[in-house]
Amino acid sequence: MHKSDDGYGFRWQRRFSPGSADAYVFATILVVIASLVRWGFGLVSQDIFVFAAFYPAVLFSTYVGGLRVGIFAAVLGAITAWFAFIPHPISSGHEIKVLAYVLACGLIIWGAELCRRLQKRVGDEEKFRKLAVEELAHRLKNKVATIQSIISFQLRDEPEVRDAILRRLTALAATDDLVMAAQGEGANIGAILAAELKPYEASRIAISGPDCLLSPKLALTMALLIHELATNAAKYGALSSATGTLSIAWTRSGERLNLEWRESGGPPVTAPDHRGFGSRLFLRALDQFNGKVEADFAPSGLVCKLSVGLPGQAPGIVPDVAPKPTTVLAAD
């Protein structure tokens, strides 16, 4: 069930607040329905327990309207059964049935009220959590905007460095929005790719892979890595030419995410002769997720393979990689 859906219980509780007039009307209707059901059973056999049909009415009345409404339904059901379905004079067998009804209703009302209170508490905590997440998101956006302003001012004489930092902050902010849209649970890898590659021509980019929700921390890390790859492709790779194409595919193998970034049709590429900021970012970011990155600077275009551990992956377990020369990107 989606987080925005409170469930049937919460919807009923919103409509009938505990002890409200509507709740008492609802309980009365349930008792009337129970009486009709008991009357119908009586046409078939008089041996059916006289109070059996009233237990569901007591249960739902308590769950929806609270303790007092449940007691009201139990008393109303007892009065109805007493005058409509119990033959007079009263026999000793019916006295035992009345006592059993009182005890059973007491247990039903106690259990339903406990369940209702627990569910209400869960609903209140969920609402509080959503408010906290929204407030944190709002504060984070304000801080990011402040940081961007500071960077723009301090690095006004170094536009290339300034713009590179601001683009990375924008990438993080976009992923934060995806995480918050999922109520803080994380972001889907496909949504991250779509957000990061939105500025580029869609007809030249192919994206495929199964749904895979990343934790908030891993989602932000992947956003940075994808941003570096996209920036590298726009400056030097397939997205820098009119004929270049880009293909991204990912799979999930157990508790690992494997992603392949493949460029083709762009200008010839060569392996970098130094490690730039992008290279160091790859290594540091992937290390905390037991990750690996392999980049093949083939003449036809860059082929980059990423592998990261998903939450729950045991530390130190990394799938074998075919033995071949490995390097990392040097995007600045």
Residues 133-143 have a mean pLDDT of 63
Q: How far apart are CA 113 and CA 117, in angstroms?
A: 6
Angle ∠(69,71,76) on CA atoms, nearest 5 = 95
By the 8 A CB rule, do 295 and 303 touch? yes
Higher pLDDT among residues 41 and 109, named by residue: 109
% pLDDT > 70, the chain:
69
Exposed (0-12), middle (13-18) or buried (19+): which is 72, by Cβ within 10 Å? buried
321 pLDDT exceeds 60? no
Encoded tokens for 70? 């449940």
Q: Cα(123)–Cα(5) distance, rounded to whole angstroms?
A: 11
Tell me what pLDDT residue 7 has: 47
Grade residue 157 by pLDDT with cuts at 50, 70 and 90: confident
- The answer, yes or no, to whether residue 233 has pLDDT greater than 80, is yes
| Radius of gyration, CA atoms only, the chain | 32
Nearest to 302 by CA among 274, 278, 268, 325: 268
Q: How large is the average pLDDT for residues 168-191?
A: 69
* Burial environment of residue 113 by CB neighbours within 10 A (0 to 12, 13 to 18, 19 or more): buried
Band the pLDDT of 326: cuts 50, 70, 90.
very low
Cβ atoms within 10 A of the Cβ of 192, count? 24
Question: Does the pLDDT value for residue 118 go beyond 60?
Answer: yes
For helices 92-154 and 8-15, what crossing angle results, to 10°? 100
The Cα–Cα gap between 160 and 266 comes to 23
Q: Decide which of 121 and 317 is more confident.
A: 121
Give the least confident one: 63-77, 84-98, 166-180, 310-324. Answer: 310-324
Q: Please state, rounded to an integer, the average pLDDT across all residues of the chain.
A: 76
pLDDT per residue over 248-283, tens digit each? 999 988 888 999 999 998 888 777 766 655 566 666
The 3-class SS string of the chain reads CCCCCCCHHHHHHHHCCCCCHHHHHHHHHHHHHHHHHHHHHHHHCCCCCCCCCHHHHHHHHHHHHCHHHHHHHHHHHHHHHHHHCCCCCCCHHHHHHHHHHHHHHHHHHHHHHHHHHHHHHHHHHHHHHHHHHHHHHHHHHHHHHHHHHHHHHHCCCCHHHHHHHHHHHHHHHHHHHHHHHCCCCCEEHHHHHHHHCCCCCHHHEEEECCCCEECHHHHHHHHHHHHHHHHHHHHCCHHHCCCCEEEEEEEEECCEEEEEEEEECCCCCCCCCCCCHHHHHHHHHHHCCCCEEEEEEECCEEEEEEEEECCCCCCCCCCCCCCCCCECCCCC
Alpha carbon 191 to chain centroid, angstroms: 14
Q: Which domains does the chain have, with CATH numbers?
A: 8-125 (no CATH), 155-309 (3.30.565.10)
The residue among 175 and 81 whose pLDDT is bigger is 81
Task: For residue 89, say if its preceding peptide bond is cis, omega within 30 degrees of 0.
Answer: yes
CB atoms within 10 A of CB 319: 11
pLDDT at residue number 323: 31
Count CA within 13 A, CB hemisphere, residue 201: 13
| pTM (whole model) above 0.75 | no
Cα separations (Å) of 306 from 20, 222, 243? 58, 10, 25
What is the β-pairing status of strands 292-298 and 205-208?
Answer: unpaired
